């Protein structure tokens, strides 16, 4: 099962990054993949009650990759963090399957209370470089967040948002039609 997950992560990187030349390159040199692998170990420790060990490992992974993922966060399958430097995923964040994050993305909290205070990303979400998503918000399935955007409200499924504060620019189909038309 662990080997299957590793293979799936490498395949995901090769699918989502046209610069990925080989499985060996991805496995040895992709910091986003390494951060996800480190998170999985830390998350397992966290869930078994080894909180200090989990946090310690997550900080070692952050030091090595430049990507910080809290071990209590809930992350689905096939997350790909492309050019991951500066990515932060907070404690109560939830990330669905097949999510793509670019460098500098923050899934941050907006409360000092012990409650759900970080974003939830649905399956198939894409978040552009240096985007900041704050608070207990939901980004719906297959939605996209433009680079540099600041998102503080829910994003409906399939919608693209951009700007500060982020506002809808259309659904994914409309955006693709504008690009090709």
Whole-structure pTM value: 0.90
Coil, strand or helix: which one is 58? helix
Among the residues of 30-161, which ranges form H helices? Answer: 31-47, 51-65
Q: What percent of the chain is modeled with pLDDT above 90?
A: 89
Structure tokens at 174: 């409309």
102, two tokens: 């670019």
Per-residue model confidence as pLDDT tens digits over 72-82:
999 999 999 99
Q: What domains sit in the chain, N to C, each tagged with a CATH number?
A: 2-180 (2.160.10.10)
Residues 85 and 66 sit within 8 Å (Cβ to Cβ): yes
Per-residue pLDDT, 96: 98
In this model, does residue 116 exceed pLDDT 60?
yes
| Residues 49-80 pLDDT 10s | 999 999 999 999 999 999 999 999 999 999 99
Total number of residues shown for the chain: 181
pLDDT (0 to 100) of residue 84: 86
What is the overall mean pLDDT for the chain?
93
């Amino acid at each position: 099962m662990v080997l299957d997950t590793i293979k799936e992560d490498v395949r995901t990187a090769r699918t989502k990054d046209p610069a990925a030349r080989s499985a060996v390159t991805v496995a040895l040199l992709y910091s986003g993949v390494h951060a996800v692998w480190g998170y999985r170990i830390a998350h397992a420790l966290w869930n078994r009650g080894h909180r200090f060990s989990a946090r310690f490992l997550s900080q070692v992974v952050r030091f090595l990759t430049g990507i910080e993922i809290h071990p209590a966060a809930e992350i689905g399958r096939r997350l790909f963090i492309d050019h991951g430097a500066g990515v932060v995923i907070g404690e109560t964040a939830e990330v669905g399957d097949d999510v793509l994050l670019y460098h500098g993305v923050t899934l941050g909290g907006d409360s000092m209370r012990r409650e759900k205070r970080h974003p939830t990303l649905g399956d198939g979400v894409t978040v552009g470089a240096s985007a900041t998503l704050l608070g207990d918000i939901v980004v719906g399935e297959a939605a996209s967040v433009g680079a540099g955007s600041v998102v503080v409200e829910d994003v409906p499924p399939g919608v693209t948002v951009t700007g500060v504060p982020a506002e809808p620019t259309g659904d994914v189909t409309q955006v693709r039609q504008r690009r090709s038309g």
